[in-house]
Amino acid sequence: MTPSARLSAAIAVLDRVLTGEPAEKALTNWGRASRFAGSGDRAAVRDLVYDALRKRASSAARGGGLTGRGLVLGLMREAGQEALFSGEGHAPAGPGPEDFGREPDAEAALDLPGWLLPELRKGLGADTGAVAAALRSRAPVFLRVNLGKTDLAAAQAALGAEGIVAVPHPLAATALEVTENARKVQTSDAYLTGLVELQDASSQAVVEALPLVEGMKVLDHCAGGGGKTLAMAGQAKLRLWAHDANPRRMTDLPERARRAGEKVEVTEKPEAGAPYDLVLVDAPCSGSGSWRRDPEGKWRLTPAALDQVVAIQAEILDRVAPMVGPSGWLAYATCSLLPRENQAQIAAFLSRHPDWRLQRDHAFTPLQGGDGFYLALLQRS
């Protein structure tokens, strides 16, 4: 496919996304219907689609409208490549009067939902513009080195032998940032043998900050695929339980644990194993700290959906608090930049549970390299 033909494909995919079809599904359907497209073409179209979604507001302004064509034309105008809209061969038709665009205003230039800006500014302050700019870019690819099997230098060497270049990242002692050939990671021996796992650097930093001690009984209450479960296992010899409201998310966890050389007890009834020395709640959230990975989530979030997720967070905290033993720890984390889901949520919990104390908390933003994250460490009095 020519570069211009890739633009046409991205326009078609984005038109489907804008009607409500998930981007991954739209891309998969396009790929199945476009057998002529090679792996490089599919990757390029995917990148165009996600870049357009990350920059949806500013691209729509530059491209003359919130359509697939408008978004891709806006991207190309920003990049100085409007000439690719030539109408020749499989290229999109050249710009006409209906494609009149403009430079985005101050709000559109942030590429953030306008209704959330006051809350985001409350949490980010003077960094709002810089964080917004970071969220308009692709997220780096990070790996967590499994210290139970290797060390950073050996992991780097193993990856390098397969053409994957990775360098240490300061956010976490276990973090490597992949700088070349990231698409090779999941088929590499280093990954398949459990030397490394894909995990954001901020997520690794959250686990490093937990007060883990050898022999602790630990529950990962919102485990998902188990990334933090396995990261905790790499920090200390623990007795680990994992739970998720959707057990199917944990389907691969036993195999991942086996590959990492760890043991994890998957449970649908976490109360049965209580009390725990530490319970980690990586709560469902707006995902605002990871919008560069999931730009669709940025535009699909609504005030009602945010209200709902904040209520769910409170319910989870109230549920797990009784599972923590005397002097035990409750660690609350979100990949959110919103104070309502973070500091305000913890303040509300403490008002309902006066026998708990906030020992420390920390907020990460994409300006530090990884995703936006919040961690609060609570201890029962």
Residue 48: inside a domain: yes
Q: Mark whether 84 and 18 lie in a shared domain.
A: yes
* Residues 319, 353 within the same domain: yes
Among 58, 92, 108, identify where a domain stops: 108
pLDDT band at 9; cut points 50, 70, 90: very high
What CATH number is attached to the domain comprising 235?
A: 3.40.50.150
User: Does residue 20 sit within a domain?
Assistant: yes
> Does some domain include residue 7?
yes
Query: What's the CA gap between 325 and 150, in Å, rounded?
Result: 33
Domain count, the chain: 3
Which of the listed residues 178, 199, 220 is the one where a domain comes to its end? Answer: 199
Q: Is the pTM of this model over 0.85?
A: yes
Residue 218 and residue 172 share a domain:
no
Domain extent, residue 164, equals: 141-199
148 in the same domain as 258: no
pLDDT at residue 93 is higher than 90: yes
- 276: which strand partners? 324
Same domain for 364 and 215: yes
- What's the start-to-end Cα distance of the chain, in Å? 64
Looking at the structure, do residues 211 and 353 belong to the same domain, yes or no? yes
Average pLDDT over residues 240-264: 90
Contacts of 73 (CB under 8 A, 6+ apart): 59, 62, 63, 64, 82, 85, 92, 95, 99, 101
Residue partners of 48: CB distance under 8 A and separation at least 6: 6, 7, 10, 72, 75
- 262 — pLDDT class (breaks 50, 70, 90): confident
**Which positions are catalytic?**
335
Is the pLDDT at 260 greater than 90, yes or no? no
Residue tagged 């599904």 (tokens): 25
- Is 376 found in the same domain as 236? yes
- Are residue 151 and residue 235 in the same domain, yes or no? no
Say yes or no: 291 and 239 in one domain: yes
| Domain identity same for 177 and 224 | no
> Does residue 221 sit in the same domain as residue 245?
yes
